[in-house]
Every structure is written in C-alpha cells, then in structure tokens.
A and B are shown apart, each in its own frame.
Chain A
C-alpha cells in the first residue's frame, strides 16, 4: 500500500537557520503530494502542494520539489523564525481511498 516516511523529530534550530525536513513516499503512480503544518493547539492546515513530477510547491518561504526519481518531497526554508515552530506532516493523495495518507510528523522547534 501507499506510505509516507518522514525524518524523526524533534528538529531544533536557531532563528535564521536553514531548514530541511525529509519526506519520501511509496506509491503506485505519481500521486499529488502535500505538506501540512499544525501549530500548537490547532488543527492541520495546508502549507504547500505539488501535483506532478518536478513541480515545486511554495508558501510562506517554504518550498518542496516533487522528485519522482528519488520518490521524495523534502521541505526546505532558507531562514526559519520562532513562529515556524510547529509539527509538519508530509502526505500523499491515495486515489484508491480518495483520502490522504500522512507521515508521522516532524516537530520543529526554533529558538531565538
């Protein structure tokens, strides 16, 4: 079946550091890929998405590129802020179930 693997957290960075959160997937075909973010005490919200190979999704300074060769969708940001502290989830669209399959989440802590 389809699955998503994310790097273990927590990831602790200083403000203005470069961020990478790794995400790889296993799926049939080329599913749409998503990054969701969950701020403390809130539900998940969409951060960015990519619907086909080589697409780059971007939002709020975050970027991720759909790499079919490596089945990856790594999340990057050039300079993190304290306000980016949250849990980040990578997900793919499972067409068979018409539902998203999520990774286990990666907690990011940014220190001033």
Chain B
C-alpha cells in the first residue's frame, strides 16, 4: 500500500518560532509538493521539488522554505511562524508524467498563536 506520511497531525506553535513539517513517501517518486489548504481557497501550492536538492517556488512561497536532501523526504520550514500561517498543510508525491496520480498525506493542522 502506497504511503505518504507527515510527521504530525496537529501542531501548535508560538509566533516567531521556527517550525519544521516533515513528509516521507515510500513510492520512489521523483516529485514532491507542499500545499496549504484554507476554506474557500482550495489547495495552494507553496513549493515543489522534482529531484533531490532541487526546489521550485509555487504560488505562495513567501515565509516558507523547503529542503530535500533525500528522495523520500521533503521538509517544509517556517522560518518565523506568524498567525497568518495557521492552516492545514498537505504534502503530496507523484511520479513523473502527465497522467500519474498524485498521492497525499493526511495533513498537518498547524495553529500559530
């Protein structure tokens, strides 16, 4: 059974803290993604990576960075958390090609107080 796992389901952090969200996939996929999901806005792409040590900005990269040191792991970093980063964060992975399924993790609900 294919799997994308995320390090936490729920996380509460204080304003100004550095936050790490971890994502691991076991499908040997080249591509990995971080989205945030907010009511009425759907899923917005923060960053993605199509290879180890490669990263590309998505639609809303401000305030975030990422790291991909190994193929199976893709980390999202909030350098200095702010209250407007309170959201659901979804990680996904995908094989290369235009009709392959994108697999999602269960999500991390982050609250910044």
Q: Do A and B come from one complex?
A: yes
Determine, out of B39-47, B61-69, B71-79, the stretch whose residues face the partner at the interface: B39-47
B43 with A98: CB separation less than 8 A? no
Tell me which residues across on chain A come within 8 A of B41, comparing CB atoms: 104
Count of inter-chain pairs, beta carbons less than 8 A = 56
Is A51 engaged at the interface, CB distance under 8 Å to the other chain?
A: yes
Cβ contact within 8 Å between A44 and B99: no
Contact partners of A98 in chain B: CB under 8 A: 31, 48, 50, 96
Instruction: Provide the bound-state CA to CA distance between A109 and B80, in Å.
Output: 38
Q: In the complex, how many residues of chain B place their beta carbon closer than 8 angstroms to a beta carbon of chain A?
A: 25
Closest residue on chain A to residue B109 by CB atoms: A41
| Those of A39-57 within 8 Å (CB) of chain B | 41-46, 49, 51
A99 near B101: Cβ-Cβ < 8 Å? no
Decide yes or no: A43 and B104 within 8 Å by CB, A97-B48, A99-B58 being known contacts.
yes
Q: A99-B58, A103-B42 in contact; A46/B106 too (CB < 8 A)?
A: no
B23 CB to closest chain A CB, in angstroms? Answer: 11
Residues 1-59 of B contacting A (Cβ, < 8 Å): 4, 31, 33, 35, 40-43, 45, 48, 50, 56, 58
CA–CA, A95 and B31, complex, Å: 13
> B42 to A49, Cβ gap below 8 A?
no
Is the CB–CB distance between A51 and B40 below 8 Å?
Answer: no
Q: For chain A, give the interface size range.
A: 20 to 34
Q: Of all chain B residues, which has the CB nearest A105?
A: B42
Separation of A39 and B35 alpha carbons in the complex (Å) = 17
Q: Which of B's residues lie within 8 Å of A, judged by CB?
A: 4, 31, 33, 35, 40-43, 45, 48, 50, 56, 58, 90, 92, 94, 96, 98-99, 101-102, 104-107
Known contacts A93-B98, A105-B42; 4 additional CB pairs below 8 A are A43-B106, A44-B92, A49-B99, A99-B48
